[in-house]
Amino acid sequence: MSAIANIPPQFEIVDQPLDSQMTISMGPQHPSTHGVLRLELVLDGEMVVKTTPDIGYLHTGMEKLFEYRKYQQGIVITDRMDYLNPLGNNLAYVMAVEKLLQIEIPERGQVIRVMMCELQRIASHLVWLGTHALDIGAMTVFFYCFREREKIMNLIEAASGGRLTPSYFRVGGLMMDLPAGFERRVQQFQNEFPKALDEFDKLVTGNRIFQKRTQAIGYVSAEDAIDLGLSGPSLRGSGVALDIRRANPYTGYETYDFDIPVEHSGDVWARYLVRMREMRESHKIVQQTISRLKPGPVKADAPKVVLPDREAMKTHMDALIHHFLLVAEGVDVPPGEVYQPIEASKGELGVYIKSTGGPKPARVHFRGPSFVNLSALPQLSRGCMVADIVAIIGSLDIVLGEIDR
């Protein structure tokens, strides 16, 4: 493989094996594999010669199931893919359907979508930070991260009624408007969060053991990262300033002021720093969305697509008819195919939907960032120690629910 040239010299030892290579199986019940991932490791002493990920333990045939469900029923399936970033999955899916239907959603709906997605991104990164540090041996961080995440989970619960599976975004808008006093609650979180971030920085970033465990581990160059399809923070840790929110803006991200954190060393440490700084950027975006929240509709004016208000159904005949037809027969989506990419917390989440007409999609495919990032693991883990494998997996921030689908 041509990529060997890019491996730092201290790892060259792989090519002169000792006489005792052995193959061991790591997982699928290993706590540091973030789910049910099995790795087939060929070891030379404690050195990893070859890593072969074995996935599929969580495969539940979601893409098949989409083809047997109406478009609006598919939203709840997306929640269960990347269960740390369900709102991101909702967004990618409903945006793809909205693109097929060519409907625009109103300003307030867009702003709320951005706000919820950025809160979700912070929550997702908090789980990553907690588990990543836990894998490396810093247990305390986990509890502090989950304390902060709990606040976001409460916000998501207040808006949608669900914590892990919100299904808050619907085709044509949102499930419902934000509850009263929601801005105040978000503002309270906003006021508290920078202090918590500083706390994490103190706990982890300056920790010399953590630095030793992450620096110069799992190196990947920018060219290799692009070739391997890495995206999101894993790509930006290699010095590529690519963010779909900027490259192919959606839901008005082009109007928000935020930076794209980039690190150049390409190792676990760089990917760590990128995600830590991304939480601050998301925090900035949420602050901007609060000031932009103006009263207005949150659903598109498309009665054949969007469920009518509960009150209107009690007084308006046509609202009742539309509700009945939508629930019983679904939306008639014109034939066509779309690929809708978004910047999820883990990288490029792409949804491919093919419609041949009718209320059910002919094909729904999710390009999960975790799936592609994990496929780079054999490359990243060449020549590292066994204990570094968990650090590298943690730095890729994978969720097996999305990989196996």
Partner 1 sequence: MSELQQPESNTKVSQPVATQTPSQIAAALQREQPNSVSEITTALGETTIVVARAHIVAACEFLKTTPGYEFNFLADLCGFDRGPEEEPRLEVNYHLFSTTKHHRLRLKVLLNEEDAHVPTVTTVWRTADWHERETYDLFGVIFDGHPDLRRILLPDDWQGHALRKDFPLRGYEPYSLT
Contact residues: partner 1, CB under 8 A: 55-56, 59, 61, 63-65, 68, 99-100, 102, 226-229, 240-242, 246-248, 254-260, 288, 291-292, 336-339, 341, 348, 350, 352, 354, 362-363, 365, 367, 371-372, 375-376, 404-405
CB of 54 to partner 1, least distance (A): 9
> How far apart are CB 291 and partner 1 at their closest, in Å?
7
Q: Any bridge partners for residue 367, and if so which?
A: 350
Chain centroid to Cα 5, Å, comes to 31
Which residues does 7 contact at the CB level (< 8 Å), separation at least 6?
Answer: 219, 382, 383
**Alpha-carbon distances, residue 151 vs 64, 83, 132, 189, 279 (angstroms):** 35, 17, 20, 7, 15
Report, in Å, the least distance between residue 343 CB and partner 1: 12
Treating both helix axes as pointing N-terminal to C-terminal, what angle do 386-396 and 268-292 enclose, rounded to 10 degrees? Answer: 20
Based on CB atoms, which residue is closest to partner 1, 162 or 249? 249
Quote the least distance from Cβ 244 to partner 1, whole Å. 9
Closer CB to partner 1, 163 or 292, in the complex:
292
**Residue 229, burial from CB neighbour count under 10 angstroms (0-12, 13-18, 19+):** middle
Residue with Cβ nearer partner 1 (15 or 254): 254
Q: Minimum CB separation from partner 1 for residue 110, in Å?
A: 13
Looking at beta carbons only, is 130 or 232 nearer to partner 1? Answer: 232
Residues in the chain: 405
Min separation Cβ 55 and partner 1, Å = 7
Minimum gap (Å) between residue 231 Cβ and partner 1: 8
Which strands, in side-by-side order, build the sheet including 336-344? 336-344, 347-355, 363-367
- Adjacency order of strands within the sheet including 47-54: 21-26, 38-44, 47-54
CA distance 339 to 341: 6
Q: Which residues contact 226 (CB under 8 A, 6 or more apart)?
A: 235, 240
d(CA 294, CA 282): 20
Paired tokens of 309: 């208000």
Give φ, ψ of 300 to 5 degrees: -70, 155
Q: Smallest distance, Å, CB 82 to partner 1?
A: 16
Block residue for tokens 């004016």: 301
